[in-house]
Amino acid sequence: MDNDLNPNRHIYNTKYSDSHLSLNKEGMLSYDKEMINMRLEILQRYSFGRTVLDLCCGTGSYLLHYLEKYPLAVGVDFSRNMLTILKKKLGGEVPTNLLLLECDAQQIGLQSESMDFVFSFTSLYYVPRVGEALAEINRVLKPGGVAAFELGNLWSLNTYVCEIENRKRGVAKSFHVPYRAILKMIQAANLTILEHRVFQILPMWGRGVLWLRPLIDWRWKWLMGIKVAGRMIDEWISGLWPLRLLAFRHLFVCQKTA
Three-state secondary structure call for residue 223: helix
* Closest distance to ligand SAM from the beta carbon of 214 (Å): 26
Of these, 61, 158, 174, 238, which contacts ligand SAM (CB under 6 A)?
61
154 or 233, CB closer to ligand SAM? 154
**8-27 b/e with 16+ CB inside 10 Å = b?**
bbebbeeebebeebeeeeee
Stretch in the footprint of ligand SAM (CB under 6 A) among 43-51, 53-61, 140-148, 221-229: 53-61
Of these, 36, 52, 53, 56, which contacts ligand SAM (CB under 6 A)?
56
- Give the per-residue contact string, 6-45, with ligand SAM (x = CB under 6 A; - = no): --x---x--------x------------------------
- Give the per-residue contact string, 100-129, with ligand SAM (x = CB under 6 A; - = no): ----xxx--------------xxx--xx--
Of these, 36, 57, 115, 182, which contacts ligand SAM (CB under 6 A)?
57
* Closest distance to ligand SAM from the beta carbon of 105 (Å): 4
Residue-by-residue DSSP string for 141-175: EEEEEEEEEEEEBSSSHHHHHHHHHHHHH-PPPP-
136 scored as a contact of ligand SAM (CB under 6 A): no
Question: Of 96, 81, 89, nearest to 24 (Cα)?
Answer: 89
Task: Report which secondary-structure segment, H or E, holds 115.
Answer: strand 115-120
Using CB under 6 A, list all residues that contact ligand SAM.
8, 12, 21, 56-58, 61-62, 77-79, 82, 104-106, 121-123, 126-127
